[in-house]
Homo-oligomer: A and B are copies of this chain.
Amino acid sequence: MSELAPFPSSEYERRVDRTRERMREAGLDALWVTDPANMNYLTGYESWSFYVHQGVLVTHDHDPVWVGREMDAKSAEATTYLDDDHVRSYTDDYVQSPHDKHPMDYVADVVADVGYDDRSLGVEMDAYYYTARAHQRLTDQLPAADVSDATLLVNWVRLHKSDAEIEYMRDAAALAETGMQAAVDTIGEGVRESDAAAAIYGGLIGGTDEFGGQYPAIVPLMPSGDYTGTPHLSWSDREFAAGDPVIVELAGCRHRYHCPMARTLSVGEPSDEMADVAEVVRIGLQDALDAVEPGVTAEEVEGVWSESIAQHGVEKDSRLGYATGVGYPPDWGEHTVSLRPGDDTVLEEGMTFHMIPGIWYDEFGVEISETFRVTGDGAETLADFDRDLFVV
Contacts and interface: CB of A to CB of B under 8 A. Distances in A.
A205 interface: yes
Contacts of A46: 233
Interface string A119-155: 0000101111111111110000000000001010000
B123 A132 contact: yes
Nearest to A223: B75
State the main secondary structure of chain A at its contact with B: loop
A74 B231 CA distance: 9
Interface stretch (A80-88, A194-202, A284-292, A374-382): A194-202
A98 B343 CA distance: 8
Contacts of A192: 212
A329 interface: yes
A215 interface: yes
Interface centre among A96, A128, A129, A317 (most CB of B within 10 A): A96
Nearest to A341: B93
A162 interface: no
Contact of A237 (B99, B211, B331, B338): B211
B213 A219 contact: no
A367 to B, nearest CB: 12
A8 interface: no
A333 interface: yes
Contacts of A72: 230, 232
Most buried by B among A129, A134, A232, A235: A232
Given A149-B133, A195-B206, A198-B212, A75 B127 contact: no
A271 interface: no
Given A75-B232, A96-B338, A221-B48, A194 B215 contact: no
Given A71-B232, A125-B131, A127-B131, 15 more contacts: A48-B218, A48-B232, A74-B229, A78-B227, A91-B317, A92-B319, A93-B340, A96-B335, A125-B132, A125-B136, A128-B131, A132-B134, A135-B135, A193-B212, A194-B207
Closest 8 CB pairs of A and B: A194-B212, A132-B135, A198-B206, A125-B133, A201-B201, A51-B330, A126-B133, A51-B331
Interface of A: 4, 46-51, 70-72, 74-75, 78, 91-93, 95-96, 98-99, 123, 125-136, 149, 151, 192-195, 197-198, 201-202, 205-207, 211-215, 218-219, 221, 227, 229-237, 317-319, 322, 329-331, 333, 335, 338, 340, 342-343
